[in-house]
């Protein structure tokens, strides 16, 4: 519904909607530039863990999909990834300053050199670290 003020109505009629040019989303869309690759790294690691360790869980069930995406969202919203998210915007051309060096998902979630299991003589490996 258009506003009743004639000045505002005219400005609405003059606005032009611009689309993203074909074959440029990988260059100018922040999620496509870097973020989605990091998100998919967590998803693949969980899927591979379930398949390779023969864990009897159906990751295609609605509740399991929701839980998995909730895990990914919880990890990615951590302060540890703030600089990485700023880099995504910088690389897309929306920020002018390059953020300091950042840690990506592999560095934060899948580096286990310092982590030890709290159970003595545990032979099970970790699949992910909390960010």
pLDDT attached to residue 3? 54
Q: How far is CA 125 from the centre of its chain?
A: 24
In the block, residue with structure tokens 């929701």: 66
pLDDT at 90: 92
Q: Quote the tokens at residue 96.
A: 């002018």
Predicted TM-score (pTM) of the model is: 0.72
pLDDT averaged over 10-residue windows placed end to end, the chain, 131 residues:
57 68 86 92 92 90 94 92 92 89 90 71 74 77
Measured between alpha carbons, how far is 121 from 125 in angstroms, rounded to an integer?
11
Q: Which of 90, 100, 111, 39 is nearest to 68 (CA)?
A: 39
CA 43 to chain centre: 10
pLDDT score, position 77: 92
């Amino acid at each position: 519904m258009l506003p009743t003020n004639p000045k505002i109505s005219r400005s609405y009629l003059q606005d032009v909607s611009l689309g993203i040019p074909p074959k440029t989303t990988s260059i100018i869309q922040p999620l496509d530039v870097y973020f989605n690759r990091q998100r998919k790294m967590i998803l693949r690691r969980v899927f591979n863990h379930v398949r390779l360790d023969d864990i009897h869980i159906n990751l295609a069930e609605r509740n399991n999909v929701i839980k998995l995406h909730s895990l990914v969202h919880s990890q990615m919203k951590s302060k540890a990834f703030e600089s990485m998210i700023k880099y995504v915007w910088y690389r897309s051309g929306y920020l002018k300053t390059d953020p300091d060096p950042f840690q990506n998902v592999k560095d934060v979630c899948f580096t286990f050199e310092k982590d030890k299991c709290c159970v003595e003589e545990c032979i099970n490996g970790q699949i992910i670290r909390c960010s």
